Amino acid sequence: MFMRWAVVLLLLLSGAGWAEEIANFEGYVAEEEEDTVLLEPDVDELLEPSMDEGDAQPAEEPATSGSRSRWANRLSLETTTWALLPRRGAGRDEGFLQVQPRLELVKPGFLQLDLGAPVRLRMWGGGKGAGLVRKEDWDELSDWGQVVQNLMLGGDAPNFVWVGALESYTLLSGHLVRRYNNRGNPNYNPAGAVVTGMLRPLYVEAFASDVLGARLMGAEVVLDVQHILMGCQPYPMKYALSLSAVHDWGKAGGTSEPMTLAHLDGTAILVSRRNKQGGFELQANAGWGGRPGEGGAWGAVAGLGAEYMSSTADMRARLEGRLQRGGFRQGAFGPDYELARFQVAGPDAVPQADAPFPDGYSAHGEVILSWDAESLGVLGQRHFRLSMGAEVFSWGRMDVDGRLETQLFHRNLSVGVGGVAVGVGQPGTRYLASGDARWRFLGGKLYAVGQGGTLLFPTAEGTLRPGAFASVGLGVDNAR
């Protein structure tokens, strides 16, 4: 996602919105304003849920009186079986009873809090000495971060604090952190944090992948060049410069080698068409980055991005050409990073910080499409949502990741599928896939859930052990 998508969409007029990166709240339905300007997503978009393996359910309004104006809440309890299955003879079967209570509280514009975590009680497997509770879920301080599913302070962008799971997080320009998942390691369950703020002509976004451990941290500072030259404008950030830096200390979720990257970017809006019904925007960007302290490790990028938005559809696309030299690559902190920090995909079984990366160039593309027959204004209401990114390298490698979600039968059925393929076309390609479904019945208070997919578990030796999971069960809440 372009810096423009994460900054300009935040700042235009009412200044709300940040659609793709870190959404994971499923309760509050905000009231829509009649005069919403195109390319200015409302507060709902900032909290748009992503339905991953552990949280695949559509968003509903918390069932309390005055939920649209004052405090709202939702209570839920989900009970499922959860089985871990070995692949290629690695490991042994394990079965658990998973119990997940959740409490969600909302005070629009002030506080949003979602607490709860899955507790897995062993039913079989695990070997001699295995405890009742799966210890890998709670064996380090960072794992306690999973209790905070979502916490937001200050609902009015661009100044707010957010804490929770970073499921597809992109740091503004996306040239360092792109579609990153801080829970890609199934034995590591941290809570990440994002802090944003604006003091014109500067806008800042900072993040930490783990608020309880020394892991991935970074920030991007954006300068509104138009503001410097022409003063305050109705539509800021038409021309912008940004500087980003990210460092991984590698001291939580398993030890790995530290790594630091930095990037300088420029963005310009080429075409902008806005009205009350919809509109279009075309952006151009160019940048240069590298690894500080390592001479010859650098890269360059140039590309275009486009966005179309209406009351029922939101489409964003980007296409870039990239150049890599000396082991540097754009988007190094991506969807596969929590596994690659231990062992990269491909023939070199080494951590990403030490892995050679061939000199060459690549083409990167990304599409994010949301559609709803009624309106995108209601939180979590999406009849169809597709998010996909791909990068093709000149030396024969391709990386792809994506997620498809749909709501059917009066939104009683929600289905999602997703996957990651890293190093396609090279030896040692890494594939991960998952799917989930949720069906509400008996008036929507009760629901059935099923999930399944493949996993990779880092070992003490620094290798990755393949496995799979499957889960079925029931849940109840007061959402309807």
Q: Which two tokens stand for residue 36?
A: 């919403």
Range 438-445 average pLDDT: 89
- The pLDDT value recorded for residue 87 is 78
* pTM, 2 dp: 0.84
Q: Which domain holds residue 18?
A: 3-477
As a whole-number percent, the residues of the chain with pLDDT over 70 amount to: 84
Q: Is residue 33 very low, low, confident or very high in pLDDT (cuts 50, 70, 90)? A: very low
**Count of the separate structural domains present in the chain:** 1
| pLDDT of 155 higher than 50 | yes
Degrees (nearest 5) of the Cα angle 352, 356, 361? 105
Q: Which residues pair with 324 in a beta bridge?
A: 299, 360
As a whole-number percent, the residues of the chain with pLDDT over 90 amount to: 66
What CA–CA distance (Å, rounded) separates 217 from 331? 15
62-71, 164-173, 215-224, 295-304: which range is least confident on average?
A: 62-71
Residue 198 is given by DSSP the state E
Decide if 89 contacts 70 (C-beta within 8 A): no
> What does residue 83 show for φ and ψ, rounded to 5 degrees?
-115, 135
- The pLDDT value recorded for residue 68 is 52
Per-residue pLDDT of 338-359, as tens digits, reads 999 999 998 888 999 888 899 9
Degrees (nearest 5) of the Cα angle 430, 362, 425? 35
Residue 342 is given by DSSP the state T
| pLDDT of 130 higher than 90 | no
> What does residue 21 show for φ and ψ, rounded to 5 degrees?
-70, -60
Name every residue whose Cβ is closer than 8 Å to that of residue 365 and which is 6 or more positions away in sequence.
317, 318, 319, 320, 389, 390, 391
Q: Which residue has the tokens 């629009």?
A: 108
Decide if 142 contacts 252 (C-beta within 8 A): yes
What CA–CA distance (Å, rounded) separates 183 from 254? 13
What is the torsion angle, in degrees rounded to the nearest 10, for the CA atoms of residue 11, residue 12, residue 16 and residue 19? Answer: -90
Per-residue pLDDT of 378-403, as tens digits, reads 767 899 999 999 999 999 999 999 99
Decide if 449 contacts 470 (C-beta within 8 A): no
What is the identity of the amino acid at 11? L
Q: Of 76, 5, 4, nearest to 368 (Cα)? A: 5
Averaged confidence pLDDT in the chain:
84
- The pLDDT value recorded for residue 294 is 85
Q: Which two tokens stand for residue 383?
A: 């009849």
Q: Is residue 65 very low, low, confident or very high in pLDDT (cuts 50, 70, 90)? A: very low
CA distances from 22 to 17, 119, 314 (A): 11, 23, 17
- The pLDDT value recorded for residue 89 is 65
